[in-house]
Structure 1
Amino acid sequence: MLRRVVGALVSGGVLCLAFPTFDVWVAAPVSLGLLALVLTGVRPRAGFGLGLLAGLAFFLPTLHWAGVYVGNLPWLALATLQALFVGLVGALYAWLSRPGHSGTVRPLAFALVWVVVEGLRARAPYGGFPWVKLAFSQADSPFGHLASLGGAPFVGFVLALSGGLLAVVASRARDRMPLGSLALPAALAVGLGLSGLLVPLPTDGPTAQFVGVQGNVPRAGLDFNAERRAVLDNHVKATLAAQAEGAGQPRPDLYVWPENSSDIDPLRNADANQLIRNTVDQIGVPLIVGGLLEEPRGYLSNVSLLFEPGKGNTDRYVKRHPVPFGEYIPNRAFWRLFSDKVDLVRRDFYPGSEVGLFTVPAASGQEIRAGLSICFEVAYDDIMRDVVNAGANVLVVQTNNATFGYTAESPQQLAISRLRAIEFGRSVVHVSTVGQSALITPDGTAHQVTSLFTQAVVRGALPLRDSMTLATRLGESPEWVALLALVVLLGRRLRVRRQRAALSD
């Protein structure tokens, strides 16, 4: 058991290496292989404990950014909650791997348990927290290509299956079985790892010119927008500078500012409204602004606003999935018993109900249909799928990473946008107040990646694509198939257990 405990901790630590800023993608299947080996043959209670240890060893360092400015309690609470889901993986898989107390590695069972529990983690509690899903570490790997076939869940399934096969190889080698018995699972694991290279990632299509403006903020931290006018001014100055520097280059079709670029309500504050309208009229190009609205009564709204030359604000998108404990406090009175930090969120954000899609013409005669997501929304499969199904031919991700300082949070988010580009076959304009910002082509390649806490601009042509990937067409069905298959396995295991109990009587 001591070896298993150490193995569980090592497994979680190795999985950290797959994510930014380490970016060693092969660490993911290796980590899961070690975890499957550790869990195989133990009792469910021990499996839960081992899974919890692996989860803590992974989530504590990977989500360390959650406590940079608000203290250790929120970070520890979030990491522990997420680790409990890995504990559930351990309990379920341990139960499935002991039908005859033989302790045989079962790669398919392990993969099904992983993808089903990861899907649960993405949905609960309070709408879930799908950050650092397994697939989001794979934008640079052959596994990542598989996102276009079945989305992030399918990538996670194949990674876990590969890890389970590696565990079979390791267990047979440990038991000194003939080398021939190692060949098939080893070949299958490698084959799965390379299979993504057979999946094409097209980047063709008509193009439009985009400019993303990273205006920067006066300071990092929770009070990044204490000087709200300074943040707005930064984005205005950077936009006008980009226009001047772009003389002689192709005319932009759309400018994009990040989330929180105007925390002064630009629809109620005449000064802010006029400043933005003057900027849009001067550049002569539509602009998407990330702002806060003082509405509805008693709430705030986190919004994307479309401003057009000579027209002012013509469209809006209200963030559909505000972040619990970041943008609203669920069950505020209860959580205040544990920490008064909940009152740092003085007013809750109100969720929108409409899918975000802005339509603007491009100089080439094409139509830009920009599918919108704000900050953490990029991590939610359904929100991103909704905008593609609504007709988006390019994705726009507006975010503000100032509240997480110089941490891995921003690179982690950029990695999610890169996988989304592959999953949906869409270009992505990923723009942050402080970085990292980038233009991403539909093959997941990030171009002109900016540095943190600098003023910068990303500009260039991106393909506008309308074709639907298989992942888009399948939607949530891969997860439902995995759930059904897991229920079948659990049912069979229960029947075997009852039959054994009946025979023993």
Structure 2
Amino acid sequence: MAAPTLDPAPGSPPSERPRSGRAVALLARAVPALGAGVVLYLSFPPRDLWWLAPFTFAALGLLLRGVRLRRGFLLGFLFGMGFLVPLLSWTGSFVGALPWLALCAVESLAFGVAAAAMAATSTLPAAPVWGAAIWVGVEAVRGRVPFGGFPWGRTGFGQPAGLFLPTASLGGVPLLSFVVVLAGLAFGELLRRLYRRRIRAAVVPAVLLAVALLVGPVATLVPPTVNGPEKQLTVAAVQGNVPRLGLDFNSQRRAVLDNHVRVTEQLAAEVAAGRQRQPDVVVWPENSSDIDPFRNPDAAAQISRAAAAIKAPILVGSVLVNDNGTTSNSILVWDPVAGPVARNDKRRIQPFGEYMPWRSFFRIFSSYVDRAGNFVPGPGPGVLQAGGADIGIAICWEIAFDDLVDDSVSAGATMLAVPSNNATFGLSEMTYQQLAMSRIRAVEHDRPVVVATTSGVSATITPDGAVTGSTGQFVPGVLVADETLEDTTTLATRLRSIPEWVLTAAGVLAVGAAVLAGRRRRRAGDEPAGANGAGAGTGGSDAPGAGEDFDG
């Protein structure tokens, strides 16, 4: 009779476990990681469940603690897919599943890198701090590469309301992301230590959790610096609507322009009858005139007619054809008397939409690449003067980029306008995700924000992030708001990207410290080779209790 096979002792290296046991152990972590990503998605708008986000990072931190780098990467990748696949489903609404899933997979690679680095530092003292810093650092990279970056889905963008939101006024979206992730990681570690009845060791994560929860309330006590007197401005946002949903919405470009002219003239009639306030400036959305008014006298006449009727300058979203054959996504200031008097071109154009990088390569995967435009970015800080105010312009997805909004406010903008065209994405959640970003920018820079979209949701937002008025989707509408413009400077405005770089550097240094600590332990012979090197990034154990000696 063959001798019975003994199971390896708890805590033994994975190579000594039965293959079936390793598969079960992996599955026991992979499924919760995927589920945690889905829950993070559920915390994002249009749902008002911002408080779910820390719990997802509590779960992720517990899943990553003490695991090998490769397993950490896999768990992070699954977390990213669980989050991004539903969050970015709008990207596949009209181009099919392949581009949508490919985008999610590429972006999830960054989540995998973040999780691997978090696993490497998971046994360092104050590990939640370093894990949250690593997360911010990877978000910084995602927002810059490739092709100029894709910041959609940053953790801070899921916090347009609630306890953590005021943090944006201290350190922008990076600090907002940091405190949310820190709260989650600290909470998870606190639970783990209390479960193991390590009461004294629970003090550190308890303090970190308290700090993360208090940053937002403390931020409300830090007033912005006042640089000048207040000014009142009445602003109107016009949503003219589009003939149809999807990529073909602009096949009837004249109808879109006519819609915005008609709704503006209706507003003028309401003003003349005393039923509505006279605006100082009117904001039309991106693509409200896809017909170049400099090359089409009829389009120019239509816009002039609307401006004359409303007796105020209109910010007109237009597509302009340049002399070299390229196009510019522009916002024009159209004066009721002088006509077009100023212009701001979109500064960061959208890859795979407004232009197509590596066109011949991506054509292999989808014929839709040939529908991408030939747009070029424009110069300047993104500020237009209209109605006696300096208005910062963030055209559509530009609102997701910290540096663009920072530049506008630094150049003197006392109000932000977000002219956008979301008709391509139908009745998806995209417009609500973008609206959340606008609300966070309002708090970050203490500025009122006006969102004007072709098809909704348009909105007016106060400097504390509250939505005071909004429209429905795919219906015409008008919003008129009296805005108090203050020339103020928040701490976030002054610091710009400094918090992001400081946190990124802290994360990099923590990974380096983990590597060095692991090497020292191996040289000292304190552990079997490969048994507990997760902190060093050179192997590690998935067994419960791995790294207990380094809890801090």
State the TM-score, normalizing by the size of structure 1.
0.94
Q: Which amino acid aligns with 2:216?
A: G
The reply on whether 1:214 has 2:239 as its aligned counterpart is yes
Query: Where does residue 321 of structure 1 map in the other structure?
Result: 348
2:277 and 2:480 in contact (8 A); partners too: no
Structure 1 residue 352: deviation in Å? 0.7
Return the structure number with greater relative CO, CA threshold 8 A, min gap 6.
2
In 2, the alpha carbon distance for the partners of 1:424 and 1:296 equals: 37
Match of 1:185 among 191, 198, 205: 205
1:319-371 deviation per Cα after TM superposition (whole angstroms, max 9, x unaligned): 011100011001111212222221122x411111222211134xxxxx31001
1:23 and 1:137 in contact (8 A); partners too: no
Structure 1 residue 294: deviation in Å? 1.1
Structure 1 residue 192: deviation in Å? 2.3
The reply on whether 1:356 has 2:382 as its aligned counterpart is yes
Structure 1 residue 182: deviation in Å? 4.4
1:37 and 1:105 in contact (8 A); partners too: no
| Higher mean displacement: 287-296 or 381-390 | 287-296
SS state at 2:394 partner:
strand
The reply on whether 1:421 has 2:442 as its aligned counterpart is yes
Structure 1 residue 296: deviation in Å? 4.3
1:12 and 1:31 in contact (8 A); partners too: yes
The reply on whether 1:391 has 2:417 as its aligned counterpart is no
Match of 1:503 among 516, 521, 524: 524
Query: Where does residue 50 of structure 2 map in the other structure?
Result: 25
Structure 1 segment 249-328 matched on structure 2, within 5 A = 249-328=276-355
Structure 1 segment 339-418 matched on structure 2, within 5 A = 339-345=366-372, 347-361=373-387, 367-418=388-439
In 1, the alpha carbon distance for the partners of 2:107 and 2:323 equals: 32
2:320 and 2:328 in contact (8 A); partners too: yes
Structure 1 residue 490: deviation in Å? 2.3
In 2, the alpha carbon distance for the partners of 1:496 and 1:165 equals: 22
The reply on whether 1:5 has 2:30 as its aligned counterpart is yes
Q: Which amino acid aligns with 1:185?
A: P
SS state at 1:310 partner:
coil
Structure 1 segment 128-277 matched on structure 2, within 5 A = 128-178=149-199, 182=202, 185-186=205-206, 188-200=208-220, 205-246=230-271, 247-248=273-274, 249-277=276-304
1:215 and 1:434 in contact (8 A); partners too: yes
In 2, the alpha carbon distance for the partners of 1:359 and 1:427 equals: 16
1:70-101 deviation per Cα after TM superposition (whole angstroms, max 9, x unaligned): 101111011111111110111111122256xx
SS state at 1:139 partner:
coil
In 1, the alpha carbon distance for the partners of 2:84 and 2:493 equals: 29
The alignment covers a number of residue pairs equal to 494
In 2, the alpha carbon distance for the partners of 1:296 and 1:37 equals: 58
Structure 1 alignment gaps of length 5 or more: 362-366
Query: Where does residue 106 of structure 1 map in the other structure?
Result: 127
Structure 1 residue 500: deviation in Å? 3.0
In 1, the alpha carbon distance for the partners of 2:258 and 2:332 equals: 17
Structure 1 residue 9: deviation in Å? 1.3
In 2, the alpha carbon distance for the partners of 1:399 and 1:311 equals: 25
In 2, the alpha carbon distance for the partners of 1:403 and 1:93 equals: 37
In 1, the alpha carbon distance for the partners of 2:465 and 2:304 equals: 34
Query: Where does residue 364 of structure 1 map in the other structure?
Result: none
In 1, the alpha carbon distance for the partners of 2:478 and 2:147 equals: 35
Structure 1 residue 266: deviation in Å? 1.2
The reply on whether 1:44 has 2:64 as its aligned counterpart is no
In 1, the alpha carbon distance for the partners of 2:422 and 2:162 equals: 26
Question: CA 1:192–1:502 in 2, change beyond 3 Å: closer, same or farther?
Answer: closer
Structure 1 residue 187: deviation in Å? 5.7
Q: Which amino acid aligns with 2:257?
A: L
In 2, the alpha carbon distance for the partners of 1:135 and 1:143 equals: 9
Structure 2 alignment gaps of length 5 or more: 1-24, 530-552
Q: Which amino acid aligns with 2:205?
A: P
In 1, the alpha carbon distance for the partners of 2:46 and 2:449 equals: 21
Q: Which amino acid aligns with 2:483?
A: L
Structure 1 residue 3: deviation in Å? 2.1
The reply on whether 1:83 has 2:108 as its aligned counterpart is yes
Structure 1 residue 173: deviation in Å? 3.4
Structure 1 residue 138: deviation in Å? 0.9
State the TM-score, normalizing by the size of structure 2.
0.86
SS state at 1:223 partner:
helix
In 1, the alpha carbon distance for the partners of 2:92 and 2:298 equals: 35
Structure 1 residue 181: deviation in Å? 5.3
SS state at 1:481 partner:
helix
